[in-house]
Structure 1
């Protein structure tokens, strides 16, 4: 089974946790909001998370120079956790790319494919 969907808006790369004034550790607000947006879109597509191995493909469409590709992947992957799959450790194949072009609609296009269990 294969599922594809699009997350509208400019993708947000995962950032390192920050330390607050009181010494508590937190995830930056824009990262949390983007992961929530990914989760909300995924909820409309998945009735229940895949339980086995999956292949994940992410195509990022941006209008200007991007951050590190692996940080974008982490934001999307974390947003899909417990919705598209039970845990991101299930992702055993990964394909990701950035397309930078002026005049396009910024978005992330995601495809998740259930893979057969290895014996």
Structure 2
């Protein structure tokens, strides 16, 4: 299954903390919280089924905007994929915020993901492309259930 979310990817930032009467409460920064909420709404609109269960393989492609300050030549290299983003934010922070935003919607919990491939690209149309497939038992490279014997 492939789903495209037309939204600028946002990296998972460090959680913020505040004191309460009951102790310390951690929460996402506003930018991350808004991103997760928007991603969830987009998912509900595009994916109407129950969340997937069982082991999953997920492929993510993050397309971020091209800065307006780059030359026409560099812009073309970025659009064609010849030059890829090797700057912050890190790919793993994009992964974390995106997977968390889809918990309970596309899959029951992101701990079901047993294999993940993630890539960053530049584009005039920022978006996230996600492909999800179930891992069938016979696809396990070790040939077993993964349990220690």
Shift of 1:100: 2.1
1-structure distance, mates of 2:88, 2:41: 24
2-structure distance, mates of 1:57, 1:42: 16
Could you say which residue in structure 1 is the equivalent of 2:63? 61
Deviations 1:20-78, CA, capped at 9 Å, x for gaps? 37654221011111111221122231410111111111101112454010000011100
2-structure distance, mates of 1:52, 1:68: 28
Could you say which residue in structure 1 is the equivalent of 2:129? 109
Could you say which residue in structure 2 is the equivalent of 1:49? 51
**Secondary structure of residue in 1 paired with 2:62:** strand
RMSD: 1.8
2-structure distance, mates of 1:19, 1:108: 29
Could you say which residue in structure 1 is the equivalent of 2:34? 33
1-structure distance, mates of 2:131, 2:88: 21
**Secondary structure of residue in 2 paired with 1:96:** strand
**Secondary structure of residue in 2 paired with 1:37:** helix
- Taking structure 1 as the reference length, the TM-score comes to 0.85
Q: Are 1:86 and 2:86 counterparts?
A: no
2-structure distance, mates of 1:35, 1:58: 16
- Taking structure 2 as the reference length, the TM-score comes to 0.69
Mean CA deviation greater in 17-26 or 64-73: 17-26
1-structure distance, mates of 2:48, 2:91: 25
Shift of 1:113: 1.0
Gaps of 5+ in 1: none
